[in-house]
Amino acid sequence: MTALKQINPPKNKIIALFYVLGGGALLLGITTGLLSFYLGHHLLYGVTREVPWGLLIVTYASFAIISTGLCIVAAIGHLFKAKTLEPLSQRALYMAIIAILAAFLAIGLELENPWRMAIWMVLSPNLTSNIMWMGLFYAVAVVLMIVEFVLGQLAQRKAAAVAAGLASVASVAGLVGLITDILANSNLGEVFGFINAKPYWYGPFLSIYFISNACLMGFSAIVFFTWAAYSMFGWEMDEPLQKALKTAGKFIGLFAALVLFLLSWWIVNALAGKVFGQYDTAKALVAGPYALNFWFFEVVLGILVPLIAAIVYKGREISAMAWAGLSAMIGGFINRYDLIVVPQTIPHYQQFNVVAPAELATKFYPYVPSVSEFLVFLGALGLICFGFVAGEHLFKGHIAKH
C-alpha cells in the first residue's frame, strides 16, 4: 500500500487559479457555444464554405489524440503489467477520460445539429463513413474507460477477494476500451486520409501519423500532469513513481524522433512530388504564410525541444521533461492546426488560371479563428485544467492502494 507524503505546503493559489480559470473558461466556452446555436454558427465562427473545418475541429482532433495517447500509457501499466509504468496508469486513465470529454465538448459545439447525430447515426448510419465509425468507437471507448476507472476505484475500497474480481472485470473493459480507442484514432486519421480532394491528406499515412503522435502526446501529457500535480500539491514522489516518470521521459524522446521521421518524409515527399495540393500545402508550411507555425511551433517546440531534452537529460530530469512534454503538446496542437487548416486553404481551382470571382481566385482561402471559436477552445482547455485539479483532489493523487 502506498500513501502520499506531504513534503511541501500545497500551492493553494495556483490550485485555486486552475479551478477558477479552468471553470470560468469552461462556462464561458459553453455559453459561447450555446449562443452560436441560437444566433447561427455563421455569425460567430470564422469557418467558411471553402474552409469549413477550423479551430474547433483542430481542438477536437488534438484532445482526442492526447486522450488516445493517455489511454495507451494507462494500458501499458495496467493491462500489460509493465511494472515500471504502472504508477502512471491511474492518472493516465483519468486524464484520458477528461481529454476525450474536452474533445467531445469542442466538436459538440462545432457541429451545426449535434442532436440529429444521436438519431440518424443510429437510424441511418453510413458504413463507409469514417466520421460515423470514429464517433461510434470514441463513444464506446469513453464508456469503457469510465467503467474501467470506476471499477478500479471500487476495487480499492473493497476487500482483497472482491477487489480481485472487480479488477479483472476492469481489465477486460480496459482492453476492449484500448482497442476501440485505437480504432477510433485510426478512423480519425482516415477522416482526413480518405479525402482525395485534398492530396496532402490522401492516403493511409495519416492514421499512422496520428497514432504515433498519440504516443508522443500520451507520454508528454502524463509526465507533465504528474509532475504538475506533485509540484502543486507538495507531495513527495516515491521511488517507483520517479522511475516511471524517467522511463516515460525516454519514451517522449523516442516518439519525438518517430514523429520527426514521419513529418520529414511527409514534407520532403510533398515538396519533391509537386502534386497539386500536396506541394502547395507543404510550401505554404515551410516557406509560406505558415512558416512560423511550422518551424517554430511544430518543429522546434513540438519535436526538437522534447527530443533534445530527452537526449540531454536522458529522461531523468523530471521537471525538465515535464516542461518538454508541455512544449510537445503546444507544438502538437499547432501541428494539428496546420495539418487540418492549411490543405483547405489551397483553392480548388488553383490550376485553372482563375481570375474571378475574387473569393475563388485567391492564392490562399483565408481563415482566421474568430473570438467565439477561441472562447470555445478555451472552454475545452478549461475543462482539462479543471478536471485535472479536481481529479487530484477527488482521487487523492491517483495512488493505487492494492
Partner 1 sequence: MFKKFSQWLDSLEDKNEGVENLPSEERRRFLKMGLTITGVFAGGTLLSLVSKVDDVFGSIGGYSERYPYKPHYAMVLRVDRCIDCERCMEACRRTNHVPEYGWRTKILERHIPLGEGEWYREFMPILCNHCNNPPCVRACPTQATYKDSRTGIVRMDYRKCIGCKTCMVACPYDMRYFNEEKRAVDKCDFCWESRLSKGKKLTACAEACPAGVRIFGDLSDPESEVFQMVHSETRVVWVLRPETGARPNVFYTKG
213: nearest Cα among 1, 50, 62? 62
The alpha-carbon radius of gyration of the chain (Å, integer) is 21
Per CB under 8 A, does 38 bind partner 1? Answer: no
Nearer to partner 1, 271 or 399 (CB): 271
Q: Provide, rounded to whole angstroms, the least separation between the CB of residue 96 and partner 1.
A: 24
Kindly tell me the burial class for residue 224, based on how many C-beta atoms sit within 10 Å of its own C-beta (0-12, 13-18, 19 or more). buried
93: nearest Cα among 22, 189, 178, 4? 178
Which of 360, 390, 399, 400 binds partner 1 (CB under 8 A)? It is 360
CB atoms < 10 A from the CB of 305, how many?
20
Nearer to partner 1, 122 or 159 (CB): 122
303: nearest Cα among 195, 189, 209? 209
Per CB under 8 A, does 278 bind partner 1? Answer: no
Which of 9, 13, 49, 239 binds partner 1 (CB under 8 A)? It is 49
Which of 111, 146, 308, 399 binds partner 1 (CB under 8 A)? It is 111
Per CB under 8 A, does 113 bind partner 1? Answer: yes
Per CB under 8 A, does 344 bind partner 1? Answer: yes
**Can you tell me the distance from the alpha carbon of 66 to that of 214, in angstroms, rounded to the nearest whole number?**
6
Nearer to partner 1, 43 or 311 (CB): 43
Task: Quickly list DSSP for 159-218.
Answer: -HHHHHHHHHHHHHHHHHHHHHHHHHHHHHHHHHHT-TTSTTT-STHHHHHHHHHHHHHH
Nearer to partner 1, 114 or 366 (CB): 114
Per CB under 8 A, does 206 bind partner 1? Answer: no
**Can you tell me the distance from the alpha carbon of 398 to that of 86, in angstroms, rounded to the nearest whole number?**
11
Which of 4, 260, 288, 308 binds partner 1 (CB under 8 A)? It is 288
Total residues contacting partner 1 by CB under 8 A comes to: 51
Binding to partner 1, residues 52-81 (CB under 8 A):
52-53
Which of 35, 354, 390, 399 binds partner 1 (CB under 8 A)? It is 354
Task: Quickly list DSSP for 10-58.
Answer: --HHHHHHHHHHHHHHHHHHHHHHHHHHHH-HHHH----SS----HHHH
Q: What is the 3-state secondary structure (H, E, C) of 263-275?
A: HHHHHHHHHHHCC
Which of 132, 142, 178, 217 binds partner 1 (CB under 8 A)? It is 132
Amino acid identity, residue 113? N
Amino acid identity, residue 213? N
Q: How far is CA 397 from the centre of its chain?
A: 22
Which of 59, 62, 67, 130 binds partner 1 (CB under 8 A)? It is 130
Phi and psi (nearest 5°) for 92?
Answer: -65, -45
Nearer to partner 1, 21 or 111 (CB): 111
Q: Are 94 and 398 in contact (CB under 8 A)?
A: yes
Per CB under 8 A, does 135 bind partner 1? Answer: yes
Per CB under 8 A, does 273 bind partner 1? Answer: no
Per CB under 8 A, does 250 bind partner 1? Answer: no
Q: Provide, rounded to whole angstroms, the least separation between the CB of residue 364 and partner 1.
A: 14
Per CB under 8 A, does 195 bind partner 1? Answer: yes
Per CB under 8 A, does 336 bind partner 1? Answer: no
Nearer to partner 1, 292 or 312 (CB): 292
Per CB under 8 A, does 236 bind partner 1? Answer: no
Nearer to partner 1, 82 or 354 (CB): 354
Which of 164, 196, 296, 396 binds partner 1 (CB under 8 A)? It is 196
Q: Which residues bind partner 1 (CB under 8 A)?
A: 40-42, 47, 49-50, 52-53, 111-114, 116-117, 120-121, 124-126, 128-132, 135, 191, 194-198, 271, 274, 283, 286-288, 291, 295, 344, 348-349, 351-357, 360-361
